[in-house]
Amino acid sequence: MRRTLNTSVTLQGVGLHSGRRVAVTVSPAAAEIGIVFHRADAGADAKPIPARYDHVAGTYRSTRLVNRDGLSVATVEHIMAALAGCGITDAHLSLDGPEVPIMDGSALAFVRAFIAAGVRELGVPAKAIRILASVSAASDDRWAALVPAPGFEMAFSIAFADPAIGTQQKQLALWGNAVVSELSDSRTFVRLCDVAMLRRMGLGRGGGLDNAVVVDNGRVLNPGGLRHPDEFIRHKMLDAVGDLALAGAPIIGRYVGLKAGHDLSNMLLRAVFARPDRWEWCEIEPGRVPGGDLVAPTAKAPAARIAV
């Protein structure tokens, strides 16, 4: 069934790249509205921004959506992953700034807020996208694909020069509560040597050790260390969950990523929808997609300020 929140929740924080203080309010929506962003700071006449792959206008270091009037919202991937992980299909997201707050660098605060608010079914069957044949996208030595599988699964590989990250591989069946329990608390990360370059580009202005894992020549600089030994690849998988949620429906298939990022996930969705012979709409079978009986993960992180 399609699902929404029982009540609205508001979270406040800083934008990772803009450095601006921002609040996001997530509110219940009627069935088949989908996930829709609203820029409250742009005035009452501002058009909504649909959370769809074909509204992606930027993928460098985050995913940015834009509507036909040029109004945008950035860094949507973590809150989209939280919505997908909780099985929420319909919601209004209102922001008073240009970027979703980064919170602690993961999706944990959003997940906790959604579970606290409660999730309810809307009485309308939810559809899923079943992958019938392989579809792929590539860029240099980076690659991503969706292949047939009995449910939403993911196999990911990353390789970074810094030995604190190195080469990691992980496979997960992301059914039921798995996105919440396995991925939602894993934080974004950056190499210390890249920070100055990002800030010269106008990015990372809100970043710090409280909302990102920072590594430098084999060392993790955060005083608390990592939440998981493989937190880096878990976060890349979390990003992919959020970016794939822009398909507008859960995916029944296996995502395979080799050094993939926001750009390849979006390229892959565009390739899927350009090949209607390789997928079909289907009814969701219980337990084959994210959602289900939600339990907040235990994480070494303080609770964010949440208004329910």
As annotated, the active-site residues are 262
Nearest-10 Cα torsion for 69, 269, 100, 39: 20
CA dist 275 to 48, 146, 182, 250, 279, Å? 28, 12, 31, 17, 8
